[in-house]
Chain A
């Protein structure tokens, strides 16, 4: 069975029709994962029992498969009366799963800031909150732009997992076409190429952003 270009092209509109779903799932998950991951790292720094608990949660998340999280949220939670739509479960699963990784990225980004920076903030009597917002976070952002961008691409590439919850994203659509026509090569190649294009565009954007962040002040 060769590669039928005409059939491949005919599958493009259907698959591309789900690009909005793929991108919005990825975007919301990125924001969710970044927010939860940042919170994890900030709370972990409190130390003591709370810090240890958060450390354990982060390790737990990172040591379990994403698919297990998605199935758990989708099939187990309803037994406890929590019934969520498949899209919600998908976004929650991706956000939670990647928050564990992003917490480590934030940790590295914050640890790379010289200790003198927070000391200077304290010497100026800035509140802890102001020190984070005006001194630590902007410098952290500069440190983490590249790894953060990589994880955003990873999240994008992980959206097909949501096919198991019947979320209509791109790979799911491609698979639908395949099951209807028994032709797998073309739709899968088309979906793969679209993912490739998206990933390239995002990493290029991240590189440019990083260069701009590094350009400010540092010479």
Chain B
């Protein structure tokens, strides 16, 4: 990966403790513009904690985290501006149940980006078309299947035109037959050149679009490799073991 410009995410020596529990242990990670990084590892390994730090949802005690050229937590206004460059997709979708699909997408466009209602709806519809669900614009989240809800959540995150998309186990809460429709959207997004960090166990997805696969265990990054090498079986024994378990499953 050549890096002409500054990476979008530059994490150096990140440490986080929950009381005595060391959940992030000297984590270093850089993500270049346009790259797709897949973070995998057993549950409790700190994957979600890590990407929640990237957009400021989680805090950390030691280390530096530069996002879009801004060191987070130094200047409140700059931190807010950098955070605005990120979109986040959650395991449990977290759509607003009292708002229609369209309003879920337009809320931040109107309140954060200051768009008029008409502009916001126009932008939102274009993203709902991108995730192939424009016909549900007037529905409420409760009327949608899990896969549809997650695609709406992706559209909602895309509306603010982020430079970096964060996915926190986006398919873990889905029935198997719905996983594909969400992964298809994510693959298309990656092929479009979106910078992405995905916490996921979908190794097929990783193999298809990941530029880099990161394996975490016990709060440490144990292995990081280009996808080809990672699946080639040349990694850390712990990650090879994990890979075998996940792929056989």
Binding site for B on A (CB under 8 A): 114, 116-117, 119-120, 122-127, 130, 134-135, 138-139, 142, 216-219
Contact = CB atoms under 8 A, between A and B. Distances in A.
B111 A134 contact: yes
Contacts of B97: 139, 217-218
Given A114-B92, A120-B96, A139-B98, A219 B108 contact: no
Given A116-B90, A217-B142, A218-B142, A123 B107 contact: no
Nearest to B89: A123
B155 to A, nearest CB: 12
B2 to A, nearest CB: 31
Contact of A124 (B56, B100, B112, B140): B112
B143 interface: yes
Contact of A120 (B80, B94, B112, B143): B94
A126 B143 contact: no
B57 A122 contact: yes
A124 B95 CA distance: 11
Contacts of B98: 138-139, 142, 216-217
Main secondary structure on chain A at its contact with chain B?
helix
A204 B31 CA distance: 58
A139 B88 CA distance: 21
Contacts of A142: 98
A142 B97 CA distance: 11
B96 A135 contact: yes
A120 B90 contact: yes
A70 to B, nearest CB: 39
Interface of B: 55-57, 80, 83-84, 86-88, 90, 92-100, 107-108, 111-112, 140-143, 156-157, 160
Contacts of B55: 123
Contact of B107 (A116, A117, A124): A124
A152 to B, nearest CB: 22
A131 B97 CA distance: 14
Contact of A123 (B88, B95, B141): B88
Contacts of B56: 122
Nearest to B88: A123
B90 A125 contact: no
A96 B103 CA distance: 37
Contacts of B142: 217-219
Given A130-B111, A134-B107, A219-B142, A123 B96 contact: no
A116 B168 CA distance: 12
A117 B80 CA distance: 19
Contacts of A216: 98, 140
Contacts of A119: 57, 90, 94
A195 B142 CA distance: 40
B172 to A, nearest CB: 14
A119 B89 CA distance: 11
A123 B142 CA distance: 21
